[in-house]
Amino acid sequence: MSPSDYLGSEPTLGKSTYQRIRGMILDGTLVPGTRLQEKAFADRLGVSRTPVREAIAQLMSEGLVAKPAGGAPVVNSISLSDIMEILHVRRLLECEATRQAALSGKPLDELLELRSEIKGFLEGPRPDAETHASVDRRLHLALARMAGSGLLTELIENLKTKTIIYDKGSIPDRFEPGCHEHLAIIDAVIARDADAALEAMRVHLTNVREAIILHISQPF
């Protein structure tokens, strides 16, 4: 089951528990190494231990939670080497997905809506980190869906989530360049220019990688 199956509009108790714990991981409320004890989280969220257990199992399958031998599950950490590998694989997958999206001939309504939102970010007040991250995620997944492969979409979604865990908006200088890069990707897909779309995504993910490396080497 993919994360999207747990993020539907009509969540069950298990899904809502998963969404709440997942949200706390992604926004940094639960830092890497936090122990996820079933009873403690059941009491914290006001649910029984069963939905907590199910949520933890799903988060483990996504790589957001790890279970050390003989210990309680903990929030997973993403190292620099991990994120470099993730971004390498994302570039392989998403460049091809974006190329296929440009060739797909599928409706462009969602991309046009995202383009308008991103233009609004640049022309109006800067959005909060959560709003910006949501649009960023929607764009990458929209392109993956346009490519026409459910498996590809699931892989990209999982890798994108791990990138968010590492970043958490800690590279503010990427906001404006990232918006312009997203617009270049969208414009190439709207123009049905597969080569330009692939190159725009390649440039975007390469710049993300370089910004993370620079941030690590010059954190202050």
pLDDT at residue 3 in the model = 61
- Burial of 191 (C-beta count, 10 Å sphere; 0-12/13-18/19+): exposed
Six token digits for residue 7: 């993020």
pLDDT < 70: residue spans in the chain: 1-11, 167-172, 216-220
Task: State the Cα–Cα distance between residues 105 and 146, nearest whole angstrom.
Answer: 9
Residue 135 φ then ψ, to 5°: -65, -40
Say if residue 66 is in the same domain as residue 92: no
Q: What is the CATH number of the domain that holds 20?
A: 1.10.10.10
Mapped onto helix, strand or coil, the DSSP state of residue 74 is strand
Domain boundary among 75, 108, 126: 75
Say if residue 86 is in the same domain as residue 25: no
Output DSSP code: residue 35: B
Say if residue 139 is in the same domain as residue 45: no
Residue span of the structural domain in which 103 resides: 80-217
Per-residue pLDDT of 62-113, as tens digits, reads 888 999 888 889 998 878 888 899 999 999 999 999 999 999 999 999 999 9
Say if residue 165 is in the same domain as residue 67: no
Say if residue 34 is in the same domain as residue 128: no
Count: domains in the chain: 2
Say if residue 54 is in the same domain as residue 86: no
